[in-house]
Structure 1
Amino acid sequence: MEAFYRQVDEGRFESLPPTAGPWSPHAQHAGPPAALLARAMEMHEPRADMRLADVRLDILGPIPLAPLHVEVEVLRAGRSMELLQASASADGRPLAIARAWRIVRAPEDFPSLTGHRAAGPGAVPDTEVTDDERYLRMPGAHEDGYLRAVEWRIVEGGVGTGGTTVAWGRQRIPLLAGEVPTPWQRTLVLADSGGGITLTVDPRRHTYINCDLHVALDRDPDGEWIRMSSQALASPGHGGTVHTTLADGHGDLGTGLQTMVAQNARG
């Protein structure tokens, strides 16, 4: 595996096989596109005194393994906060839109506000694991794409164990060939997996797929491992959500939210 994408021109990216999601070798997992659009916003007229604070991705339909054209615009400029928007399309068809607030960094002497956060998440488990245990396994899933590009250490729960999971994950390959992923890019590659690591419904009988991803970080993560504490919720007759608390080795750093479309599988 080389990378998730290869840049072929300004604003144009080749989608490589590791972007393929678990349900089809022809459709991308939303994590890599989310990170790709965040990269575009990070690189658009950057300022050293500002950082991305949140990223909201809206998925307009299945994202094919096809060349993606990425565009960025500023919706609201300002000295202390800016609203950016990035879009991805293929053959002129819009596929995903992301918006992000870029805000001025808090002063180093600003008071620390911790809310109800626990003391710390602990360390990445260093127990020996087999190759199969490093990756998520799902019934009927395509395993040669994204599922093999991300490595996991399950702390609690897991696929098929009740809808709550605590796990450490890291991407095994760069977002773009020859580039080191930024903290935000690493986070987004993983954060869309909240619905995957908590998967409990049988995908052959029920579909539980997100139409968006919203991640807010009050602190940039440190290191390549991201800890996710995720819970899947579904209300019959209504819908579902997946809530994720994100952390690194220093402690909690933000939250992720996915809106889930819960349906019976079509026979």
Structure 2
Amino acid sequence: MDAFYRQLGDRSFDSLRSTAGPWSPHAQHAGPPAALLARAMERHEPAPDTRLADVRLDILGPIPVAPLEIDVEVLRGGRSMQLLQATASASGRPVAIARAWRIVRAPQDFPRLTGGRPATVDAVPEAPDQPHLDMPGAHTDGYLKAIEWRIVAGGVGTGGTAVAWGRQLVELVEGEEPTGWQRALVLADSGGGITLTVDPRRHTYINCDLHVALDRDPEGEWVRMDSRALATPGHGGTVHTTLADVRGELGTGLQTMVATDVRS
């Protein structure tokens, strides 16, 4: 299967069919564009001994499976912390904006603070017979085919919780090895997918943003997600995800969900 993107120029990328989300072959899943914007911020005027600390993506509308232009600017400069903003545009129209804090790395002798985290996480399970998410009525010849999942507990249709290991099966940008942050973001937006419990023929439960904060850079190709979906009638919903790699927990993800009835 193709990579998610093919680079066309310094700022331009062709969105390939693997970016297509589960609800339309013409609209992208938000994971790949989140990672593409993080890639741009990682590469913008890089400073030694710094790292991305968090990435906040705001989805301005359906992100088309079409060429994207990426622009980056520094909103706040400094030696210890910088606030960056990256914008993805399609046909001259902004479709997604991401902001990230890039901070100086903690010194090696800084005290270790664990905050009560478990010392280890479960191992990646054996490969299942069905390695892809099975979502009712979904478009499967895109993002869903580009991601392998190994469910530990819960999952689609089981009550709004899921613990799962996932990995992308394709490159983010053709010819490149993804960074840890890029791998995490490709997966993190799937919190609402792996916990999907509402009937998509009757209700929509779609996020308008994604906020991921990691206190440690991810290692390896596998990302573990411990996700729980919440919704309150008359109000709205959120999906909370604890992210981990094979070394253990490393951060959190949060999605604000728009919960509506399907229009007839």
Q: TM-score, normalised by structure 2?
A: 0.99
Q: Does residue 246 of the first structure (1) align with residue 246 of the second (2)?
A: no
Secondary structure of the corresponding residue to residue 196 of structure 1 = helix
Alignment partner, residue 199 of structure 1: 196
Render the CA deviation track for 1:174-227: whole Å, top value 9, x for unaligned. 001100000000000000000000000000000000000000000001100000
- In the TM superposition, residue 14 of structure 1 has moved relative to its aligned partner by 0.2
> Aligned pair 1:129/2:137, yes or no?
no
**1:122-201 matches, cutoff 5 A:** 122-126=122-126, 128-130=127-129, 133-201=130-198
Partners of 1:54 and 1:35 in 2: how far apart? 12
Aligned to 1:234: 231
**Alignment check: 8 A CA contact 2:238 2:256 kept:** yes
Once the two structures are TM-superposed, the CA of residue 19 in structure 1 deviates from its matched residue by 0.1
Q: Alignment partner of 2:8: what SS?
A: strand
Quote the Cα distance in structure 2 between the aligned partners of 1:120 and 1:110: 21
Cα RMSD, aligned residues only:
0.6
CA drift of 1:47 comes to: 1.6
**Is residue 260 of structure 1 aligned with residue 257 of structure 2?**
yes
List structure 1 segments (4+ residues) > 6 angstroms apart after TM superposition.
none
CA contact 2:2–2:17 (8 Å) conserved in 1: no
Please show how residues 27-38 of structure 1 align to structure 2 within 5 Å: 27-38=27-38
Within 1, Cα distance between the matches of 2:128 and 2:4? 25
Matched AA of 1:42: E
Distance 1:144 1:116 in 2: 41
Residue in 2 that maps onto 1:59? 59
SS in structure 2 at match of 1:120:
coil
Structure 2, unpaired ranges of 5+: none
Name the aligned partner's letter for residue 254 of structure 2.
Answer: L
Give the percent of matched residue pairs that are identical in Structure 1 and Structure 2. 77
- Report the secondary structure of 1:35's partner residue: helix
Structure 1 unpaired stretches of 5+: none
Q: Match of 2:27, as an amino acid?
A: A
Matches within 5 A, 1:31-46: 31-46=31-46
TM-score (structure 1 length as normaliser)? 0.98
